[in-house]
Structure 1
Amino acid sequence: MTTKLRNLFAIGASAMLLAACQGQDASDTGSSTPADDTTTPDTEETAEFKLGMVTDEGGVDDRSFNQSAWEGMQAWADENGYGADAVDYFQSNDAQDFVPNLNQAIQAEFDIIYGVGFQLAEAVEDVASSNPNQHFGIIDSVVEADNVISLNFRDNEAAYLVGVAAAHTTETNKVGFIGGIAGPVIDKFEAGFVEGVKSVDPAIEVEVRYAESFSDAAIGQQIAAGMYSAGADIIYHASGAVGNGVFTEAADLMESGSEEQLWVIGVDRDQEELGEYSGGNLTLTSSLKGVGAAIQLASNEARDEGFQGGENLIYGLAEDGVGVTEGNMSEEAWTAVQEAMESIISGDIEVPETPGE
């Protein structure tokens, strides 16, 4: 299965053009607003296979993790010529919404229901055990059940590469990492980033902070303000919508005439658009995660060949499951990143998954 991911980001690229404009949350028992159609009534097919997703906190318009998954599902419906009713999402404002949203999705009779994010693992496991005939997917965790497929990523490999980029770019020799909620998944981002920075120059200081949220942009802005004022000139965030606050703070400081060139490193999808300010763009690069494309591929296989419950599919650089954008890197930094990528794929560099490993 993983060999099919060689062109993962190419498969998912069209998803970036689709807007998030559909869905329900746990408090909404009515029908959702249809997504914009790119097909005409004469060519649109009635979907014989339907996908639902339950978001992690942060919402489907978090410009990061949830949004990339939803864009992938919209692209899947569009590329198969299905109507808007082929896909839908159920938005979670917090963990209490997970089970109600999963149950709503079951009632809507989707062929596969994806729980987007490791925080949904327990809810998916519980609901799946009570509904053995319903197929589920879990992103960024493993649920060992015959009716659940698990999709995971070597985020530490992409994080290592943006760490290399940060080390070749910093002018202050101090950079920052802001994580969302601490745990095995975000650990991989932290571990890879720190290792990538230190591989270039062990003397560079890396400040690590956690927001304990994936949705509170104000906390992200507050933490970023402290890091920049303490001398960091680059911040990598792995924090969902919290990262929107990081971009806001960097842009505000640059607009106010910062003496240092400040940068933000995006996560999960190309976040260059978030770095726009009057003087240019402050997104150095973004680590990419092919969540939407992986959902597309797993769903197509389930539809065409049968659902492969119990599988844990893991996607890294070798499978084009994670990656980085060139962004606004210098030629020197981009060359170093490409060399590091080749070394990871060849096995010459083994990136840790746990901080301090």
Structure 2
Amino acid sequence: MRRISNLTRVAVGVASLALAVTACGGTSGDSGGDSGSKEDLGLAIAYDIGGKGDQSFNDAAYAGLQKAADEYGYKTADIEPTEGETDADKEQRLASLARQGYNPVIGVGFAYGPAMKAVASKYPDTTFGIVDSVVEGDNVASLVFAEEQASYLAGVAAAKATKTNTVGFIGGVDIPLIHKFEAGFEQGVEDTSGGKVKVLSQYLTQTAEEGGFSSPDKGKAAAEGQIEKKADVVYQAAGLSGQGVIEAAAKAKVWAIGVDSDQYEQEALASYKDYILTSALKDVGGAVYELAKSVEGGKPLSGVKTFDLKVDGVGLSDSNPEFAKIAGLQDAVEKAKEGIIGGSIKVRTE
């Protein structure tokens, strides 16, 4: 058994790296089934729509994989989705990783739900994980987050930062998961402003297949429309599409609020960072690493594991120095955080 060190929080931001593409996706790790015994292989992750380089959700997952690889010194694999892929394609990808001996195998994103359900029972000796969805199984860990709580804090920040009393929310796809982001944000704005600040809400697409999480041009156009309507703070929960939102905000010299990773710290977004006020964080990297750690320690996690404000599973970044300069913003955010953790503030999920 390898030495296990104490769990540390994983930084959610990583730089974009290029991936090779194979028949079942692309991998930047050594995923050859003949390159070592089963015991030699460690964590594998299969990315959601948008893939690595989104500076957000998928890159946060990669940070967890990188942390595990550095600590345990084992082989890892990270695999890209393919355009227009089916649930059967996802099943093949997960099954291939399990057959090769990777353990755990994590599907990054709710879209892996049906595939995970179909595959996990066929490989009972492999621990599977899924991010943002619940799949039942003795060898499955469902890694879910209280996104509405982080979004509430983003709403508090937006209400304090706006000068036009109009802010915007842009969701990638009109689905229940993203409704949580919208609901928390709107409630945070309303509670902080007493209803004086208007929230403009928009979804880029009705389905993921239409590119809501993978089209920066769609995000940019939506943000430009909201900015024309006087929004001077725009919060996006749109994966790769969010880069377009941030670009539009920077061009118009208004605030953007990032999501999942601390987007102020992302190298690919450096030219826009002065206009990224804050980011609503999901410690996807920490969750991925925690599952890998549990497998390495011989006590694999299973069942539903919820990451919320109480365990620092979600939060709000303050990397931009301007965050501390806006009157009353930090105090309001801290007060709201205490209220959510203490139970005096109940955040809506829809």
**TM-score, L = length of structure 2:** 0.85
Which has the higher mean CA deviation after the structures are superposed, 329-338 or 154-163? 329-338
| 2:315 corresponds to | 323
2:67 and 2:234 map into 1 onto residues whose CA distance is 31
Task: Quickly say closer, same or farther: Cα 1:229–1:69, change in 2 above 3 A.
Answer: same
3-state SS in 1 of match to 2:9 = helix
Answer yes or no: is the 8 Å Cα contact 1:26–1:92 preserved in 2.
no
| 1:253 corresponds to | 252
3-state SS in 2 of match to 1:104 = helix
| 2:334 corresponds to | 338
3-state SS in 1 of match to 2:129 = strand
Where does structure 1 lack aligned partners over 5 or more consecutive residues?
1-6, 36-45, 255-261
Answer yes or no: is the 8 Å Cα contact 1:55–1:115 preserved in 2.
yes
3-state SS in 2 of match to 1:56 = coil
1:26 and 1:191 map into 2 onto residues whose CA distance is 39
| 1:3 corresponds to | none
1:227 and 1:24 map into 2 onto residues whose CA distance is 37
- Among 284, 288, 299, the residue aligned to 1:295: 288
2:185 and 2:39 map into 1 onto residues whose CA distance is 42
1:226 and 1:58 map into 2 onto residues whose CA distance is 23
1:103 and 1:337 map into 2 onto residues whose CA distance is 44
Where in structure 2 are the equivalents of 1:13-92 lying within 5 Å? Answer: 13=11, 16=13, 20-21=17-18, 24=21, 26-27=23-24, 32-34=27-29, 48-80=40-72, 82-83=73-74, 86-92=75-81
| 1:169 corresponds to | 161
Residues 205-227 of structure 1: per-residue CA shift (max 9 Å, x gap): 11111112111111111111111
What do you get for the CA RMSD once the two structures are aligned? 2.4
Residues 207-266 of structure 1: per-residue CA shift (max 9 Å, x gap): 111112111111111111111111111110011001011112122333xxxxxxx01000
Residues 307-350 of structure 1: per-residue CA shift (max 9 Å, x gap): 233x1000110111111112332241111101111111111111
**TM-score, L = length of structure 1:** 0.83
| 2:90 corresponds to | 98
| 2:151 corresponds to | 159
Task: Quickly say closer, same or farther: Cα 1:62–1:124, change in 2 above 3 A.
Answer: same
3-state SS in 2 of match to 1:11 = coil
| 1:12 corresponds to | 10
Letter aligned with residue 144 of structure 1: E
| Sequence identity (%) | 36
Letter aligned with residue 160 of structure 1: Y
Answer yes or no: is the 8 Å Cα contact 1:209–1:223 preserved in 2.
yes
| 2:197 corresponds to | 204
3-state SS in 2 of match to 1:185 = helix
| 2:178 corresponds to | 186
2:234 and 2:137 map into 1 onto residues whose CA distance is 38
Residues 17-48 of structure 1: per-residue CA shift (max 9 Å, x gap): 6664556554558xx4459xxxxxxxxxx974
Answer yes or no: is the 8 Å Cα contact 2:340–2:346 preserved in 1.
yes
Task: Quickly say closer, same or farther: Cα 1:207–1:249, change in 2 above 3 A.
Answer: same
Offset of residue 183 of structure 1? 2.1
Answer yes or no: is the 8 Å Cα contact 1:58–1:93 preserved in 2.
no
- Among 116, 120, 140, the residue aligned to 1:124: 116
1:47 and 1:129 map into 2 onto residues whose CA distance is 20
Residues 151-189 of structure 1: per-residue CA shift (max 9 Å, x gap): 111111110001000000101111111111222221111
Answer yes or no: is the 8 Å Cα contact 2:13–2:56 preserved in 1.
no
